[in-house]
Each structure stands twice: as structure tokens, then as C-alpha cells.
Amino acid sequence: MERLHFLSLLILLGLAGQTPCSAQQAGRDGVSQGSRQSTEETGAGVQTANQSDTKQPNVLFIAIDDLRPELGCYGSEIAVSPHLNELAETGLLFNRAYCQQAICRPSRASLMTGARPETTGLFHNYVSLRELQPNIVTLPQHFIANGYETAYCGKIFHHGDEDEAHSWSRDPVKRIKGIEKPKGAFALPENIKARNEDFQRMLSKYGEAARRGLASEPAYESADVPDHAYVDGYNTLLAIETLHEMVEQGDKPFFLAMGFTKPHLNWIAPKKYWDLYDADQIPMALHADAPRDGAAMGLHASFELRTRAGIPKSGPLGPELSRTLKHAYLACVSYVDAQIGKVIAALDDAGVRDNTIIVVWGDHGWHLGDMGVWGKATNYEIATRVPLMIWTPDMKVRGETSDALVELVDIYPTLCELAGISKPSHLEGHSFAPLLDDPHQSWKQAAFSQYPNPALREWAANPLSPAMRETWFGPLIQQVEQRIEKQQGTTWDRELFEQHLMGYTMRTDRYRLVVWKDHRRPDAEPLFVEVYDHHSDPLETENIASKNPGLTAELIEQCNAGWEAAK
């Protein structure tokens, strides 16, 4: 009764949130399913640890899709993010955290398995984790084996990779009495109609290829609706109810994962979050040009955004539209921040905050006109740098910012250490738990990311499809090819550059190195090299590799030594 009263109060105050926990749960019956997987069923290779007499901490694991560090606590002059700011003020914020690949599925697969893309084999969104790694032990799977109850709401793994047979021991609450689930992404009838009509038109023309991002729809929406009219708000209600059930019904510590889809396109948020901003005061990208002497294949033509209705299919977006789009992105950031505040408040309501680890992470960054690009999917700082913060009940230092180089692949071993459980032998990250007590100590020498040629890949990082070339993107692709051929000269080969070219990037304390290689021949000489000096050029506006051959050679040698040598 107390839970229901609390939820009713949230709804009356306009604090309640939005849509189904996942598409795969739509057909399940009942409000909740309870525990559905025993420790013995979690698969081969799981390592267990002896439980100590000390009560193990719970874990609230919060994922945010496409969020760059555009938050007040990261120095944004415009973002309204009070709840994440408060978490940073009482926890630890990592100023230099990096993903392993700036696209959803590979990034999340790497984080959730503790293995880097070269190990998982995931380089794009259209191959599943278990297809390539049937026996790898995921983070929540390992926690199940060590006595935890695990559940998720929203997007944790990439869509289609939910891994429900291995990673989750309990179904979440699926519906809230008296609150209707959102029926789709949009709330406004005109946007629903536009989306459906265009999807049918593209499906009839291109068949199944249209389902891979060719169908168009509005890029943004501002509707005067409650939070739970959209997916993230409704999922927040489900997560809160799931949290209360796990506390009340279980005798195990919990690992509750809450995944927010915004600020991923399309940028949809209730009007009240748009109203937090004065559009005229929103600053635009400080540098909107490609890096001087940079790789011609280093940037893409903003394919993911251009497929949306109302977005120019070529050329610049223009100042008015650019400002509207950044306004839309910021509204989504504030919307998600509000939902995170509700979930954290629910920890207090449930009486478990003092024994719960809270970790918040973004899966990759996002260009908002930076370098002339709108989207993720590059090897540069703006796409690979992510927000990451952590709060624990017993950390010795609070409200600090660490400049240590850390990576999303480090989260798995960190949570194992903080929970007092073993670390699986396959992990390729390094626990940053010691930084919670001494955030300014010497740390990693470098962080590593990678991305296959973004200029000649679709926005899911998969190779270009024939249908993509047949659409309005055909001329854009030809322009990109011509640009690369002009720079590369005799090394230009369409199959190599579309299918096999990989950009490997390393971020040290001072420099970013990007090495472009034939993925089939990792020991061969690079086709192109980029170096950016973050002391003098934090926006990465000029590639200085050719002007500094000695430095470039040293950085390449360090990169070739790999992540193990950088620990």
C-alpha cells in the first residue's frame, strides 16, 4: 500500500514517467513476474565468490543513450541538469571517460561484457552479441552467479541484444494500473501520421532495407503531455515499481539497470522541458569545420539526422534549424535528468540508499554541429568522450572531479571490486575503484577506441547498402568518395575503404592519435595518421601528425603496444 501511495503521489505531482520496459516484454502477462532464473542457470564460465558476512551493496545501473557530457556538472553553460549535478556533487565525476566505439551496440556490448570490440567482434549494430560470443559472461550474469537479483527497464544492451536468457534473473514490472502505455514514439497526431505514411512509402520502395533507417520521421517533438506519455517517463515508473518489489520481495542484493533512450534521435520531450530554455541563448558549436589536414574518411555526412523529415538531404542545416535541433537535444537531456531524479528518490523512499552503488554512464558522445557533423560515429573527442559518474555509500571523497583516463570497459571490474566479488578472467578493463578514495592519483596512460570508416558506413556502422545509394544519399556518398580518393590517391580502393578500413584512436593525457588501417592487416603500415594536441587545440581543429614525425612515431608505438601496456 505504501508503494502504491508513493506512486500515486508521483503521478499527482507530475513526476511520473513513460513506455514499456522492452519490446520483448510486451506479450508477458501480469504486473510482475518475479524471479525467473536461478544462479545455476546463468551459463558456463561464470565465476562465483564466497559471500562475506558483510551485506553486499545493491547496484543502481543507469545508462543514457547518445548523451555527450552536455551537463551542468561538466561545465555546460546552458544544460539544465539539477539531479545529475547533485549526484556529481556527492559522488565522483570522471572528466575524461571514453567509450570503446561510438555507436550503440558495440559500445554497450563492450561495457556489458568487459571486453573490447576486437574481442567481441561487434563493430556495427546488425549482429547480435550471442551470435558472436555465445559463452561470454556479462556483467549482470556474473552478479547473478554471486547472489544478486537482476532486472532491467529500458535500453541497457542494444535493441535485440537484451540477453534475457542469461543476464536477468527477474522480469520487471510491466504496466502501471491506471496509466496507459505509450503507443509509439510520438504524441502529436500529425507526427504519428507523418511517420506511418513515410514508413509505408519507404517500405514499399526498398523492402526490408527501409527498416534499417531509411524510413523518415520528424526529428523532434514538443507536446504538452505528462512525462509518462513518452517511453522514458513510463519506463521510469516501471523501474520504481520494480525497485520496490525487489526490496520487499527479495532477500538478495539487487542489480537494477535503468536505460534511457533519450537524447537519442528522435528528440522528443514534454513541452515543459523545452520551456526550460531560451532558444536565443543556446550557444552553437564553437568549431563547425573539419580538422585541417584531417582524414577525409574521418567524418560522415550526418546520415542519421538527414534521414529525418524536414532535414536537408545535402548541404548545411542553416542557423535556425541548427538552433532548434540543439534546443530539442537539450530538452531531452533535461527530461532524462528529471527521470533519474525520480529513480534516485525512490531509493530513499525504499530505505536502501545507504547500501546502494549508483553508476551513471552514457554509451558515446554526439556531434551537435561540431566539425560540421550531426551525429555520433567518429573517432574524435566529441564522439568518444562520455559522461560517467559514480556514488557509493562509503566513498572517502565526495564532490570531486577526476581527470584520470578511464573507459567504459572499466565499469565491469569496478563494480565487481566494489561488490566484493571475483573478476572474470576475460575482462579487458581496469577497476577504477581506487579513484573513489584518491581521485587525483596517477592512472592509465591512455584510453582506446575505434570506429570503421564512418564516411562510407551507414549510421549503424554497417557497410553501405544498395538501397542507401539509391536514395537521396547517393550524391552525398559520391562526394565523400571523391574527397577520400583525392586525399588517398593510389591507395584508394572502394572495397578496402568501405569494408575493411578501421580507425584506431588513442587518447593520452595530452594527445589524440587516430591511425587508419586495413583491419585485415593489423601489422601493415597505416594508410593515414592523425594527431591532435589537446593542450593547444582541445577542439581538435588541426592534424599535426605530418609536422611532428617524431612525436607521431612515438604515439604509434604506444598505440601498437595496446591497452595492456597502458594500465
Q: Retrieve residue 93's grid coordinates.
A: 565525476
User: What DSSP designation does 523 have?
Assistant: T
Query: Which H or E run contains 475?
Result: helix 473-488
Asked if residues 366 and 67 have their Cβ atoms less than 8 Å apart, the reply is yes
Q: Is the dihedral of CA 177, 148, 114, 47 positive or negative?
A: negative
Query: Taking Cα atoms as reference points, which of 206, 224, 225 lies closest to residue 216?
Result: 206
* Contact between 436 and 354 (Cβ < 8 Å): no
Of 452, 447, 449, 448, nearest in space to 518 by CA: 452
SS in 3 state form for 229-281? HCHHHHHHHHHHHHHHHHHHHCCCCEEEEEEECCCCCCEEEEHHHHCCCCHHH
Strands 58-64 and 170-171: unpaired
Residues 71, 62 contacting (CB under 8 angstroms): no
377 phi and psi angles, rounded to 5 deg = 70, 45
Calculate the alpha carbon distances from 145 to 57, 127, 140, 163, 358 in Å. Answer: 15, 27, 9, 15, 21
Q: What is the 3-state secondary structure (H, E, C) of 385-414?
A: EEEEEEECCCCCCCCEEEEEEEEHHHHHHH
Q: Which three cell numbers stand for residue 151?
A: 532486472
Burial 173-199 (b: 16+ CB within 10 A, else e): bbbbeebebbeebbbeeebbebbeebb
Q: Rounded to whole angstroms, how far apart are CA atoms 308 and 330?
A: 18
Secondary-structure breakdown of the chain: helix, strand, coil percentages, each rounded to the nearest 5:
40, 20, 45
Is residue 413 within 8 Å of 391, Cβ to Cβ? no
DSSP 73-110: GGT-SS---HHHHHHHHHSEEEEEEE-SSSSHHHHHHH
Active-site position among 124, 158, 166, 430: 158
How far CA 270 is from CA of 64, 232, 541, in Å, comes to 18, 11, 36
Is 153 in the active site? no
Q: Which of 21, 73, 99, 104 is catalytic?
A: 104
Active site residues: 104, 158
